[in-house]
């Protein structure tokens, strides 16, 4: 709980899924010994010779996924026995400052994890090797991964990263609270109005127990990016040059949360700051929670596990959710690029990603490898998160995402608390964001 | 001490120069040898302190991209910085924090002298108790205090509810958050001040107390006229250290409020301001300018204290 309450990055929480990883270890050793990647690696492209001898580093931030990655590397070494892969884990909080220093001195790990908000900073500065050659040789096929994830790691038509895993957002709910309040359970056809009236009804009926209808982390990924997309708005224009916050649709996406809090359907911003929404939910004090697929572990380990289920997010003007996922990228400065690319290609294969999924590390990105995740918690409709890829939109980013993301957390809370009218806050945010984007 | 007597003896009798000059003369005569002995220390200071300070000073006049490549922009960072309201709010917050933490010193003086009373049993045990918060990790301390300060389910508000007070959301209300952080800061730096002051108390000759007692001084009078004046050098030292570390407030704030706390922009300290510009927004040249301003402010405050100390610190 320490991780999610300090909450410095939604992307890290996905790692909680990895806790089940150890269980799969025994099964894996028996199940995956058929040297799956030999055909992929020998299928042309500039695949290095099998006796290539090199030592490369694979940089990542999530310790809980290391078991699955070690298993991947073991398979990789069956093809390339002389490539030694050192897995280098740096905790989330220091991963990015460290990576920045390494990029400045051209000492990046040969292969490393990249996320959406940071990708263009590195891709735009030429620090990452494009995957063009691997794609044109047929070693990697972008069509195997959700379109939105390919787009996330593409600049001007050139793709730089291979999707490794993904997460989408869903509506977690507590059946017991719905029954107690006498409200109908969420369905896939729910609209914003259905959601709002259910949230208010629960808050009203169970006020004496201190139970609220709904809430979210009040960060972009799990809450207002989703509603902005559902309202038909945008956070940033397609070319990454202008802010989308001053459009009427985007303002509706923000008002969704202001209205929810004002109606009493959700705890206030202060309440959600002192006690994060996921804790309200897992303590049985919240009827519905907007959160990602990564919350599965936290929910499964909580006392409300047997009452929890998940539904698609309610529909506004249209159905939408944010999708985000980590990708593997090769450093442009790598001295062992051939070996690093061989590993990148291997990790992109269906077999490697299936292995990741089977070990419970993550939801793998390769289409059709997600069944293990879906089956991981009987009684909970986890298929929702997989189906969401059909209408998911990429996490909004630009060259220096962090700069304007900091503005969001400065300006929007005043709108959510009702201190500033939504129209003023979004106008202010759009103006300042456009100023920053002009400098990129 | 033998060194200084040797040196005095070697000085020719006609050299009635002031003490300072004499030291200078000695240094000249000793040549490079003394420097050789301090070289290991000096090189460490040079590489890890002086050179980075010079570098930071240089970068504060540049616009520095995410991956290096600084371009000279003159005083642009500074003109922008002094027009930035965030600087003044961060400075105000830092001063407020420092002022509250400084309140811990009088309390520490009082507690330290109580612990120093002759015949007090379990004195070491109490000392350990008071010192523990200082050695505890700030992050761990912050985690515990977050639970205490929690608005809906916190212990503090629960206790307040018994006396009919509806407690605020301590760490998520702009006015209260800085107080909450400062109270924890006071609590965790208190032990350090107390140990230093306790050592200072041990240096006060017991004869003075005996003499005062014979003269009929009450315990309060003895505390005021013997303990406090003779303790001023220790108090001065503790003050300098406390002020410098208060100006560097970062980890406690970061861990107690959380990096996603919506009131953070209104409750930033100077160093947090530096961090957010340099490491969150990737504006490293601007961050370097902030760092230089912090450096200069701490320098001025410390210098002022050394100037003012002559008026109240008893160095005899």
A103 to chain B, closest Cα gap in Å: 6
- A-chain residues within 8 Å CB-CB of B169? 270-271, 273-274
Residues B243 and B170 in one domain: yes
**What pLDDT shows up at residue A290?**
97
Chain B residue with minimal CA distance to A9? Answer: B260
Q: Out of B172, B276, B279, name the one closest to residue A273 (CB).
A: B172
A440/B contact by beta carbon, under 8 A:
no
Q: Per the structure, how many domains does chain B have?
A: 2
With beta carbons less than 8 A apart as the criterion, state whether A276 and A217 touch: yes
B280/A contact by beta carbon, under 8 A:
yes
Residue A155 bridge partners (DSSP): A158
**What pLDDT shows up at residue B9?**
40
Residues B146 and B263 in one domain: yes
Q: Is the dihedral of CA B133, B135, B138, B142 positive or negative?
A: negative
3-class SS of residue A191: strand
CATH number, domain of B222, equals 1.10.3720.10
Angle at Cα A298 formed by Cα A297 and Cα A304, nearest 5°? 110
Residue B17 confidence (pLDDT) above 70: no
ipTM over 0.90: no
Which of A3, A94, A273 to probe by mutation at the B interface, max B CB count within 10 Å?
A273
Residues B13 and B110 in one domain: no
Contacts with B, A 232-291, CB within 8 Å? 269-271, 273-275
Residues B32 and B82 in one domain: no
- B-chain residues within 8 Å CB-CB of A104? 67-68
CB contact under 8 A, A413 and B276: no
- Return the HEC string of B202-270: HCCCHHHHHHHHHCCCCHHHHHHHHHHHHHHHHHHHHHHHHHHHHHCCCHHHHHHHCCCCCCHHHCCCH
Residue A37 burial by Cβ neighbours in a 10 Å radius (0-12, 13-18, 19+) = buried
Residues B40 and B129 in one domain: no
Residues B160 and B264 in one domain: yes
- B-chain residues within 8 Å CB-CB of A271? 151-152, 169
Per-residue pLDDT reduced to its tens digit, A299-319: 988 999 999 999 999 999 999
- A-chain residues within 8 Å CB-CB of B150? 274-275
> What does pLDDT average to over chain B?
86
CB contact under 8 A, B262 and A219: no
Q: Out of A270, A402, A413, name the one closest to residue B169 (CB).
A: A270
**What pLDDT shows up at residue A10?**
43
Of the candidates A168, A169, A165, which has an alpha carbon nearest to the alpha carbon of residue A68?
Answer: A165
Quote the tokens at residue A398.
């630009």
Compute CA distances A369 → A346, A354, A357, A374, A375, whole Å. 15, 5, 7, 10, 12
In a domain, B145, yes or no: yes
Q: Out of A103, A406, A413, name the one closest to residue B281 (CB).
A: A406
Q: Out of A269, A406, A414, name the one closest to residue B280 (CB).
A: A406
- A-chain residues within 8 Å CB-CB of B264? 409
Alpha carbon distance A339, A25 (integer Å): 26
Per-residue pLDDT reduced to its tens digit, B206-263: 899 889 989 988 888 988 888 889 999 999 999 999 999 999 999 899 889 887 788 8
Quote the tokens at residue A267.
């705890």
Alpha carbon distance B288, B58 (integer Å): 8
The fold adopted by the segment(s) A2-166+325-368 is D-Maltodextrin-Binding Protein; domain 2 (3.40.190)
Contacts with B, A 73-132, CB within 8 Å? 97, 100, 103-104, 121, 125, 127
A403/B contact by beta carbon, under 8 A:
yes
With beta carbons less than 8 A apart as the criterion, state whether A21 and A64 touch: yes
Of the candidates A97, A92, A146, which has an alpha carbon nearest to the alpha carbon of residue A121?
Answer: A97
- B-chain residues within 8 Å CB-CB of A8? 258-260
Residue B222 dihedral angles phi and psi, to the nearest 5° = -65, -40
B144/A contact by beta carbon, under 8 A:
no
**What pLDDT shows up at residue A15?**
40
What architecture is domain A168-322+393-439?
3-Layer(aba) Sandwich (3.40)
Fold match between A2-166+325-368 and A168-322+393-439? yes
**What pLDDT shows up at residue B3?**
42
Percent of all residues in chain B with a pLDDT value above 90, rounded to a whole number: 50
- B-chain residues within 8 Å CB-CB of A331? none
- B-chain residues within 8 Å CB-CB of A417? 262
Residue-number span of the structural domain to which B33 is assigned: 1-44
- B-chain residues within 8 Å CB-CB of A223? none
**What pLDDT shows up at residue A238?**
85
With beta carbons less than 8 A apart as the criterion, state whether B245 and B104 touch: no
**What pLDDT shows up at residue B18?**
46
Domain-wise residue ranges, chain A: 2-166+325-368, 168-322+393-439
Compute CA distances A382 → A204, A292, A310, A367, A372, whole Å. 29, 11, 7, 16, 10
**What pLDDT shows up at residue B16?**
45
Residue A87 bridge partners (DSSP): A58
Contacts with A, B 222-261, CB within 8 Å? 255, 258-261
Alpha carbon distance A227, A249 (integer Å): 10
Residues B39 and B90 in one domain: no
Per-residue pLDDT reduced to its tens digit, B75-125: 999 999 999 999 999 999 999 999 999 999 999 999 998 888 878 888 889
**What pLDDT shows up at residue B26?**
57
Q: Out of A104, A121, A269, name the one closest to residue B262 (CB).
A: A269
- A-chain residues within 8 Å CB-CB of B282? 100, 121, 400, 402-403
CB contact under 8 A, A273 and B169: yes
B256 to chain A, closest Cα gap in Å: 9
Q: Out of B260, B263, B279, name the one closest to residue A7 (CB).
A: B260
Q: Would you place residue B28 in the very low, low, confident or very high pLDDT band (cuts 50, 70, 90)?
A: low
CB contact under 8 A, B258 and A6: yes
Output the furthest CA–CA distance in chain A (Å, rounded).
Answer: 70
CB atoms within 10 A of CB B36: 9
- B-chain residues within 8 Å CB-CB of A215? none
Residues B116 and B207 in one domain: yes
**What pLDDT shows up at residue A170?**
96
Chain A residue with minimal CA distance to B66? Answer: A100
Q: Out of B67, B143, B264, name the one closest to residue A104 (CB).
A: B67
**What pLDDT shows up at residue B25?**
56
- B-chain residues within 8 Å CB-CB of A127? 67
A128 to chain B, closest Cα gap in Å: 13
3-class SS of residue B138: helix
pLDDT tens per residue across all 440 residues of chain A: 333 333 334 444 444 333 333 333 333 333 333 333 333 333 345 678 888 899 999 999 998 889 999 999 999 999 999 999 999 999 987 898 899 889 988 999 999 999 999 999 999 999 999 999 999 998 999 999 999 999 999 999 999 999 999 999 999 999 999 999 999 999 999 999 999 999 999 999 999 999 999 999 888 999 999 999 999 999 999 888 999 999 999 999 999 999 999 999 999 999 999 999 999 999 999 999 999 998 988 898 899 999 999 999 999 999 999 999 999 999 999 999 999 999 999 999 999 999 988 887 789 999 999 998 899 888 899 999 999 999 999 999 998 898 899 899 889 999 998 899 999 999 999 999 999 999 87
Q: Would you place residue B316 in the very low, low, confident or very high pLDDT band (cuts 50, 70, 90)?
A: low
In a domain, B35, yes or no: yes
CB contact under 8 A, A219 and B265: no
């Amino acid at each position: 709980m320490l991780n999610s309450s300090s909450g410095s990055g939604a992307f890290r929480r996905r790692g909680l899924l990895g806790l089940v990883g150890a269980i799969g270890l025994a099964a894996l050793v028996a199940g995956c010994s058929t040297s799956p990647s030999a055909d992929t690696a020998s299928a042309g492209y500039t695949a290095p010779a099998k006796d290539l001898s090199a030592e490369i580093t694979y940089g990542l931030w999530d310790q809980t996924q290391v078991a699955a990655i070690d298993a991947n590397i073991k398979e990789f070494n069956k093809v390339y026995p002389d490539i030694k892969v050192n897995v280098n884990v740096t905790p989330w909080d220091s991963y990015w400052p460290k990576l920045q220093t390494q990029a400045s001195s051209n000492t990046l790990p040969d292969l490393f994890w990249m996320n959406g908000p940071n990708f263009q900073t590195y891709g735009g500065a030429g620090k990452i090797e494009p995957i063009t050659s691997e794609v044109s040789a047929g070693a990697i096929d972008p069509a195997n991964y959700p379109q939105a994830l390919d787009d996330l790691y593409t600049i001007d038509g050139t793709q730089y990263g291979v999707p490794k895993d993904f997460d989408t957002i869903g509506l977690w709910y507590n059946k017991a609270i719905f029954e107690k309040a006498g409200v109908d359970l969420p369905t896939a056809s729910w609209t914003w109005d259905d959601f709002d009236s259910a949230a208010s009804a629960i808050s009203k009926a169970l006020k004496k127990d201190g139970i609220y209808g709904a809430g979210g982390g009040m960060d972009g990924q799990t809450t207002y990016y989703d509603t902005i997309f559902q309202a038909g708005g945008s956070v940033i224009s397609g070319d990454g040059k202008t802010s989308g916050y001053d459009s009427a649709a985007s303002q509706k996406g923000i008002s969704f949360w202001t209205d929810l809090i004002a109606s009493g359907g959700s705890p206030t911003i202060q309440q959600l700051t002192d006690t994060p929404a996921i804790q309200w939910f897992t303590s049985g004090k919240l009827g519905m929670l907007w959160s990602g697929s990564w919350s599965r572990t936290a929910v499964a380990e909580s006392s409300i596990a047997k009452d929890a289920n998940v539904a698609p997010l309610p529909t506004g003007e249209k159905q939408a959710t944010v999708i985000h996922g980590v990708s593997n990228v090769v450093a442009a400065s790598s001295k062992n690029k051939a070996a690093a690319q061989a590993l990148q290609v291997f990790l992109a294969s269906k077999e490697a990603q299936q292995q990741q999924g089977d070990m419970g590390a993550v939801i793998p990105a390769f289409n059709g490898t997600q069944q293990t995740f879906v089956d991981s918690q009987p009684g909970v409709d986890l298929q929702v998160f997989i189906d969401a890829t059909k209408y998911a939109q990429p996490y909004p980013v630009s060259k220096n995402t962090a700069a304007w993301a900091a503005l969001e957390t400065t300006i929007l809370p005043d709108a959510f608390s009702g201190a500033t009218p939504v129209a003023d806050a979004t106008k202010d945010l759009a103006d300042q964001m456009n100023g920053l984007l002009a400098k990129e | 001490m033998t060194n200084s007597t040797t040196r005095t003896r070697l000085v020719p009798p006609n050299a009635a120069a002031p003490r300072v000059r004499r030291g200078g003369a000695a240094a000249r005569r000793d040549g490079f040898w003394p420097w050789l002995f301090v070289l290991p220390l000096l090189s460490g200071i040079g590489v890890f302190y002086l050179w980075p300070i010079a570098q930071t000073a240089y970068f504060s006049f540049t616009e520095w991209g995410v991956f290096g490549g600084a371009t000279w922009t003159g005083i642009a960072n500074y003109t922008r910085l002094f027009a930035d309201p965030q600087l003044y709010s961060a400075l105000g917050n830092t001063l407020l924090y420092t002022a509250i933490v400084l309140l811990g010193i009088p309390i520490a003086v009082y507690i330290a002298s109580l612990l120093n009373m002759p015949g007090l049993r379990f004195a070491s045990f109490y000392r350990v108790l008071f010192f523990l918060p200082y050695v505890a990790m700030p992050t761990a301390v912050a985690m515990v205090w977050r639970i205490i300060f929690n608005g809906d389910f916190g212990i503090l508000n629960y206790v307040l509810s018994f006396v009919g007070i509806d407690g605020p959301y301590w760490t998520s209300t702009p006015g209260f958050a800085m107080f909450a952080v400062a109270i924890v800061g006071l609590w965790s730096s208190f032990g350090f001040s107390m140990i230093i002051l306790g050592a200072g108390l041990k240096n006060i000759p017991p004869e003075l107390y005996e003499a005062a007692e014979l003269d009929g001084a009450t315990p309060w009078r003895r505390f005021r006229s013997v303990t406090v004046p003779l303790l001023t050098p220790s108090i001065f030292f503790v003050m300098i250290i406390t002020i410098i570390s208060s100006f560097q407030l970062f980890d406690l704030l970061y861990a107690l409020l959380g990096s996603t706390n919506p009131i953070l922009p209104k409750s930033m300290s100077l160093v947090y301001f530096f961090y957010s510009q340099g490491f969150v927004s990737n504006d490293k040249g601007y961050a370097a300018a902030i760092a230089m301003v912090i450096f200069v402010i701490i320098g001025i405050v410390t210098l002022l204290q050394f100037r003012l100390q002559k008026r109240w610190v008893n160095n005899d």
